[in-house]
Amino acid sequence: MTKEERARADAEAAARAKDEAAMKDVALRYVKADLAGDAETRCGLRTETKLTRSECLETYRDSRSKPEEGVTVTVEGGPVDVGPIRNHSAGTGLMLTQKTVVDGHAYYRREAIRMVKVEGKWLVDQVALADDEAMASAVPVRSALMRPAA
């Protein structure tokens, strides 16, 4: 490999890493906003697949009880390509884990999140609970996001 080819490969790898970091940042901010009851941030980080921004704000505000506190959110594993299903376009799936500690006991909730790039920005397009069935599959993120609607 020539010096120029190596430099090009390094630049491409750096760009992919930066893009992946941006995607993970949006997913984390989305879940944290959801937990905090921050409708403005949450709806601003979603695609308009099902609801427009104003519909999202109205629906979310009406359904949210109170902010959840003491929850740690992390991205688990790496990104996974996911195909289109129903009204969701192909995208990239991430597994996010929420950990809550109550009276010394840890409780976990895992959600698979479909991320899509819209006009150069990562947005959340779908959130699905990663239940025991999904977690038992070879690729839990894909299993949760590609599950047929009930």
Question: What pLDDT, in 10s, does the model give residues 97-120?
Answer: 999 988 889 999 999 999 999 999
Distance CA 82, CA 114 (A): 8
- The residues, any chain, with a CB within 8 Å of residue 104's CB and separated by 6 or more, are none
Q: Which residues of the chain have pLDDT under 50?
A: none
Give the residue from 145, 42, 44 showing the smallest Cα distance to 87.
145
Distance CA 43, CA 83 (A): 23
Helix (H, G, I), strand (E, B) or coil at 124: strand
pTM given for the model: 0.86
Show the beta-strand stretches assigned E in 6-143: 71-82, 91-102, 105-118, 121-129
